[in-house]
Structure 1
Amino acid sequence: MIEILDNLDILSRPHLDLTTVEMGGIALGTPATSVPRRSIIQAQSSVVARYGGGTNIDSEYYDAEGRRLTLDEVIGHAAQSDGFLYCADKLTYKVRAGTVVGFAIYGPHLSHFAHLTSYEELLAAFGTPERAHEDKAYGDLMGYDNYYWGAHKHVKWDAWDHRVSLINMGSFEGNTGP
């Protein structure tokens, strides 16, 4: 297995066999309970009916009856069913039926691509995507969402900060084509 975090250049490949890679020691198809619990700082699961939280605000989770849930309860449910496990090191694992089906990388890991300072440089480094979508808000270009179906990958370019802001791989919407 190739550890993505030790070989970030692999992320620029337009074709990538996801059965050959792992992120943080976790491979796609691995039980989500394998994600180290001590690294998980937030979770998303269908057991959560209402969520409150934000920057410098502790997360609060509530079920459909209004009962407050602990983070451990939400993590346990997400790891056994469907959801997301968000780690302190800016890594996220997507879970379906208790199995890791996707990875997302953001934050400091992507400083590896800081030398890319324009969208054109991103295209030169990552190749032409099978699908590109302009992200606009109120007429302003916010960025581009590039989908590389051969790698089951989404690369988000932030047009305001001129940087790669997200890379996800695996079973995320848009990653495998129309």
Structure 2
Amino acid sequence: MIEVLDDLDVLYQPHPDLTTIEVGGVALGTPGVGVPRESLVEAQSHRVALYRGGTDIDSGYFDADGRRLALDEVFDDAARSDGFLYRADKVSYKVRDGAVVGFAIYGPHLSHFAHLASYEELLAAFGRPDRVRENEAYGDLMGYDLYYWGARKQVTWDAWDDRVSLINLGDFEGNAGP
């Protein structure tokens, strides 16, 4: 297995074999409960109707009836059914039917791609995508989502900061084609 966090250059490949990679020691198909619990700081699950948090606020997860959910309950539900598991180091795992089906990498890991100073350099490094979606807000170009269907990969370019801001692999919307 190739550990992506140790060899981020594998993400340049137009068609990496996703069955041969892992992110943070977790491969696609790994049971959600197999994601190391000590690495997790947050989760998203269908049981959570409300998350309240912030400075000077008693943070917590709540179900539809307003009952506070313990963090372990949210982790367990997301890991055993459908949801997202978030690590402190800006890696997330998408879980469907109790198995990891996708990875998202963002934050400091992407400093590996800081030498890409323009959208054109991004295209030269990653290749031509199968689909590009422009992200706009109030008429301003915010960035691009580039989809590589054969790789089941999305690369997001932040046009304001001229940087790669997200790479996800696996079963995310848009990664497998129209």
**TM-score, with normalisation over the residues of structure 2?**
0.97
Give the deviation of 1:2 after TM superposition: 0.7
Give the deviation of 1:135 after TM superposition: 0.4
Give the deviation of 1:72 after TM superposition: 0.9
Report the RMSD for the aligned CA atoms in angstroms: 1.3
Farther-moved stretch of structure 1 (56-65 vs 79-88) = 56-65
Q: Which residue in the other structure is 1:152 paired with?
A: 152
Give the deviation of 1:64 after TM superposition: 1.2
55 and 24 in structure 1: CA distance in 2 versus 1, 3 angstrom threshold: farther
Give the whole-Å Cα distance in 2 for the aligned partners of 1:113 and 1:130: 21
Structure 1: gaps (5+ residues):
none
Task: Work out the number of aligned pairs and report it.
Answer: 178
Q: Which residue in the other structure is 1:138 paired with?
A: 138
Give the whole-Å Cα distance in 2 for the aligned partners of 1:134 and 1:10: 25
SS in 1 for 2:120: helix
139 and 71 in structure 1: CA distance in 2 versus 1, 3 angstrom threshold: same
Q: Which residue in the other structure is 2:122 paired with?
A: 122
Give the whole-Å Cα distance in 2 for the aligned partners of 1:88 and 1:3: 18
Q: Which residue in the other structure is 1:12 paired with?
A: 12
Q: Which residue in the other structure is 1:67 paired with?
A: 67
SS in 1 for 2:110: helix
Query: Percent identity over the alignment?
Result: 72
Q: Which residue in the other structure is 1:43 paired with?
A: 43
Structure 2: gaps (5+ residues):
none
Q: Which residue in the other structure is 1:105 paired with?
A: 105
Give the whole-Å Cα distance in 1 for the aligned partners of 2:154 and 2:10: 14
Give the deviation of 1:53 after TM superposition: 2.5
Deviations 1:52-87 (A, max 9, x none): 225786642101111001111100100000000000
1:87 is the counterpart of 2:87: yes
Give the whole-Å Cα distance in 2 for the aligned partners of 1:57 and 1:66: 16
57 and 145 in structure 1: CA distance in 2 versus 1, 3 angstrom threshold: farther
SS in 1 for 2:53: strand
Contact 1:81 1:97 in 2 (8 A): yes
Deviations 1:62-121 (A, max 9, x none): 011110011111001000000000000100000001100000000000000000010000
